[in-house]
Amino acid sequence: MKLSTGFDISASALSAQRLRMDVISSNIANAETTRGSYVNGQFQPYKRKVVVMEPLQQSSFANVLSQQMNGNSAAQGVKVTSIKEDQSPNKLIYNPTHPDADVNGYVNMPNVDVTKEMVDMIGATRSYEANVTALNATKSMFVKALEIGK
């Protein structure tokens, strides 16, 4: 096992959570955007984006353990596989004075729920903080190991 494996795992998670926070920020910023894209001659509201992540290595614990015991090092951590649009329906809000209102006075609003986005942001922030703590613990172990040699 490489000495830097702990750093690699934490770094991949930090990058993934940072991207997740960026996407959530974009969702919050566009929560009222009724003209997010132009499709077939009509404006469509912004669609909420979701980050999809998966582990770098899709193996069972037993396989990872045997690889490590044999001295084989495999990539560990997490990776972002895609950023997908949420397919939940848009919200219809009655506002006949809005420039994008239909003939019945309803406005097709984005499918972004700001409360849900804030909860997701808190989760991403906590995960980011946990990985910073793990990174600092790994760094501290390296420093202590170096002090043993003195």
Q: The domain containing residue 19 runs over which residues?
A: 5-31+49-85+112-148
Which amino acid is residue 5, in one-letter code? Answer: T
∠ at Cα 89 (85, 93), nearest 5°? 125
> In this structure, is residue 54 part of a structural domain?
yes
Could you tell me the CATH number of the domain that includes residue 144?
A: 1.10.287
Please state, as a whole number, how many other Cβ atoms lie within 10 Å of the Cβ of residue 134.
16
According to the model, what pLDDT value does residue 13 have?
A: 93
What is the domain count for the chain?
1
According to the model, what pLDDT value does residue 74 have?
A: 65
> In this structure, is residue 81 part of a structural domain?
yes
Q: What is the residue-level pLDDT of the chain in tens, covering all 150 positions?
A: 566 778 888 999 999 999 999 999 999 999 999 988 888 888 889 999 999 999 887 777 787 777 777 766 666 789 999 999 999 999 999 999 999 999 999 999 999 999 999 999 999 999 999 999 999 998 998 888 888 877
- pTM, two decimals, is 0.83
> In this structure, is residue 36 part of a structural domain?
no
> In this structure, is residue 56 part of a structural domain?
yes
According to the model, what pLDDT value does residue 91 have?
A: 92
Q: Which residues of 30-48 are buried (b: 16+ CB within 10 A; e: fewer)?
A: beeebeeeeeeeeeebbbb
